[in-house]
């Protein structure tokens, strides 16, 4: 990392999981009941983590922090928060 000729700056690059595998923070896991889901995309638009696929309404559990906003905002009650084991 030494640099006398090529000055080195504190630079960072865009990376998924810049905060680590944040799914490990989860206490409750959102689970989608696809029979109740109307694909209104409210869960997708309110997800602070961008872990919901807006077409399939599936969740990337590697990074989902389990905040539960999607479950609260779902107008048909299609997302349940289940305790992580």
Partner 1 sequence: MATSIKKLPEIEQVLSGNGACGGCPATMALRMVGKALGPNAIMLLTPACSVASMGMTPKLGYNWPCINITFASAGSSASGISHALEIMQEKGRIEGELPTVFSWVGDGGTYDIGFQALSAAAERNENIIHFCYNNEAYSNTGVQRSGATPRGTFTTTTPTGKRQPKKNMAHMMLEHNIPYVATATVAYPADLYDKVVKAKSIKGMKYIEILAPCYLGWQFDMPDTVQLSRMAVRSGAWLLWEAENGKISFSNPTAHFINGKKTPDQVNEYLMRQGRFSRLLQGPDAKERIAEIQGDVDREIAFMRERAKITI
Partner 2 sequence: MKTAQVMMATGANAAALAVKSARVDVVPGYPITPQTSIMEAVAAMVENGELHARFIPVEGEHSVLAAAVAASAAGARVFTATSANGLLYMHEVLHMASGGRLPVVLCNVNRGIFAPWTLWADHQDSFSQRDTGWIQYHCSSNQEVFNTILQAFRVAEQINIPIMVNFDGFAISHCLMPLTVPAQEDIDRFLPPHQPEWRLDPNHPSSFSNVTMASEYAPFRQMLSDDIMAAIPLVKQAAQEYKDCTGMWDGDSIETYRLDDAEVVAFAVNSMAAELKLSVDILREQGIKAGLLRPRLYVPFPTEDIIQALPENAQVMVLDRNYNFGHPGGILAAELKSVLFGRRNDVIVKNRVMGIGGIDLTRRFMAEQILEMMDDKKGLL
Residue numbers at the binding site for partner 1 (CB under 8 A): 10-23, 25-26, 40-42, 44-51, 54, 60, 62-63, 65-69, 71-73, 81
Q: Which of 14, 20, 35, 85 binds partner 2 (CB under 8 A)?
A: 14
Assess 16 for contact with partner 2 (CB under 8 A).
Answer: no
Q: In whole angstroms, give the CA distance from residue 67 to residue 55.
A: 21
> Of partner 2, partner 1, none, which one does residue 35 interact with (CB within 5 to 8 Å by kind)?
none
> Of partner 2, partner 1, none, which one does residue 4 interact with (CB within 5 to 8 Å by kind)?
partner 2
Q: Where along the sequence are the contacts to partner 2 (CB under 8 A)?
A: 1-4, 6-14
């Amino acid at each position: 990392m030494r640099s006398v000729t090529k000055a080195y700056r504190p630079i960072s690059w865009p990376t998924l999981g810049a905060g680590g595998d944040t799914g490990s923070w989860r206490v409750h896991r959102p689970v989608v009941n696809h029979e109740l889901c109307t694909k209104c995309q409210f869960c997708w638009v309110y997800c602070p983590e961008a872990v919901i696929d807006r077409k399939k309404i599936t969740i990337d559990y590697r990074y989902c922090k389990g905040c539960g906003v999607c479950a609260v905002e779902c107008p048909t009650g299609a997302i349940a928060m289940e305790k992580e084991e």
